[in-house]
Amino acid sequence: MSYSKDTQQLFDNWATSGRAEGMERGHWTRALQALQNMPISQGERLLDLGCGNGWATRWLLERSGLGGSAIGIDVADSMLQRARSQSVELSNIEFVNAAFDELPWPDHSFDHAFSMEAIYYAPDIAQALRSIARVLRPGGTFTMCIDFFEENPYSASWPTRLSIEMKRLSESGWVKAFEDAGLSVEDHFRCLDDRPPEASATPEQQQETLDFRQNIGSLAVRGRAQ
């Protein structure tokens, strides 16, 4: 299984210090636009990659309706514990310790997959995307939503600030990476966010957040497996 131990430790620490719920609040509005763009039908089996506290996995479960199911994967055990403890009243949902590039399921196991702010932590993006394409049924889709990409200049400093490895591609670079992995891109778009910045942030941070949310937005890419 290939992932960075530094990344796993960072997110284990974030989970124990309450930052998983901070990410949920921060990502929710933009992620929802990408989630609602997914072509999910009742009863389908769905995968959430880099699930954190599992908020998107629970949304996918609800969206899959009667007979549907959802699995969230993550490499940080503390994230998985939070995801499980927040899902105890639900059935047909599961959280599994697994890395993007070595998904422990046979070919064609899922109808659709989603990931919010996670895939760029994969040490090898091409291998991660091929692994995701492999577990999708022919015609199944993968929707990725990210804030860390070249057209968002405010994200350039994140690897240095977090002291971990992150792969920063452009929008066209992501489209090509999907296509190279066998995921035919049928949509890519930005998810904007009209919420005001957090009042506790500095004026400079508030200005960055406003510019990001109103003018840049999260990048969503949806590719279809062949």
What are the residues binding ligand SAM (CB under 6 A)?
Answer: 3, 7, 11, 23-24, 27, 50-52, 56, 73-76, 79, 99-100, 116-118, 121-122
Nearer to ligand SAM, 13 or 226 (CB): 13
Closest distance to ligand SAM from the beta carbon of 66 (Å): 26
What's the min distance (Å) between Cβ of 193 and ligand SAM?
14
Tokens of 99: 């890395």
Minimum distance from CB of 170 to ligand SAM (Å)? Answer: 20
Q: Which C-beta is closer to ligand SAM: that of 132 or that of 216?
A: 132
Task: State the DSSP code for 215.
Answer: I
Angstrom distance (rounded) from CA 162 to CA 131: 26
d(CA 17, CA 194): 27
Tokens (6 digits) for 106: 């046979």
Give residue 12's Cα distance to chain centre. 17
When the beta carbons of 44 and 74 are compared against ligand SAM, the nearer one is 74
Residue type, 91: S
Q: What span, in angstroms and rounded, lies between the C-alpha atoms of 62 and 141?
A: 18
Nearer to ligand SAM, 60 or 73 (CB): 73
At closest approach, how far in Å is the CB of 117 from ligand SAM?
4
Please tell me the distance from the alpha carbon of residue 52 to that of residue 179, in angstroms, as a whole number. Answer: 27
Question: Shortest Cβ distance from residue 27 to ligand SAM (Å)?
Answer: 4
Closer residue to ligand SAM in complex, CB, 28/189: 28
CB of 15 to ligand SAM, least distance (A): 7
d(CA 142, CA 156): 25
The H or E element that residue 46 is part of is: strand 45-49
Q: Which is nearer to ligand SAM, 24 or 171 (CB)?
A: 24
Which two three-digit tokens encode residue 64? 């899959």
